[in-house]
């Protein structure tokens, strides 16, 4: 069979393979996490963000962005939620986290490690989600009553995820 002129061949670089590998691990964690029952709807540990944190520390912000956004899009394909409100909430959270991580990763590494990144990203995540919920889904001040609850969950899971990422990075430098 002869190749038509419309064929094009992708030449994935080593970095592309690395992105795909890490995104696959993040996806695995997302699926694993969906099996954990949550006592409060909307509160999830966000285990996949551990992968984002590790990629951020090892390969920098650009690759972390790739891994994070690939995870959101491919995860929504796995769960059949592409372009549903849940997908846009994930996307809003991920984008806000990434914007904050761009700034946070410039903090001096001597004092600020993965735990800082994780907590800041978790807060940015709920801030982005709540903002989207407020302007798009439920424009009612009543949802602000949930903010302390979500912020507490972000602090808890942000710290724990950050510790796991820091532990992993310390084990395998």
Partner 1 sequence: MNVAPLIRSGDALIVLLGAGMVGGLGWHYWQGGLADKVVIRAGGKVFREVALSRDQDIAVPGPLGMSLIRVEKRRVRILADPSPRQYCVRQGWLQQVGEMALCLPNQVSIELTGQNKPYDSLNY
Instruction: Please report, as ranges, the residues that interact with partner 1 according to CB under 8 A.
Output: 107-108, 110-116, 119-120, 123, 140-142, 144-145, 147-148, 151-152, 154-155, 158-159, 162-163, 166-167, 170
- Residue 131 vs 152, nearer CB to partner 1: 152
The minimum distance between CB 153 and partner 1, in angstroms, equals 9
The nearer residue to partner 1, 91 or 164, going by C-beta atoms, is 164
Nearer to partner 1, 37 or 142 (CB): 142
Q: Which two tokens stand for residue 115?
A: 């735990």
CB of 125 vs partner 1, minimal distance in Å: 13
Least distance to partner 1, CB of residue 113, Å: 5
Q: Which is nearer to partner 1, 40 or 77 (CB)?
A: 40
């Amino acid at each position: 069979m002869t190749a038509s002129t419309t064929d094009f061949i992708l030449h994935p670089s080593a970095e592309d393979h690395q992105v795909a590998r890490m995104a696959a691990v993040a996806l695995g964690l997302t699926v694993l996490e969906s099996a954990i029952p949550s006592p409060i709807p909307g509160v999830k540990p966000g285990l996949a963000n551990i992968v984002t944190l590790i990629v951020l520390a090892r390969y920098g912000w650009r690759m972390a962005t790739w891994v994070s956004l690939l995870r959101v899009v491919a995860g929504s394909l796995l769960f059949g939620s592409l372009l549903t409100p849940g997908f846009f909430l994930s996307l809003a959270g991920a984008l806000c986290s990434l914007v904050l991580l761009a700034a946070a990763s410039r903090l001096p590494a001597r004092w600020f490690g993965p735990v800082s990144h994780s907590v800041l990203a978790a807060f940015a995540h709920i801030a982005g989600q709540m903002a989207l919920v407020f302007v798009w889904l439920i424009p009612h001040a009543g949802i602000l009553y949930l903010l302390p609850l979500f912020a507490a969950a972000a602090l808890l899971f942000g710290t724990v995820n950050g510790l796991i990422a820091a532990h992993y990075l310390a084990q395998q430098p």
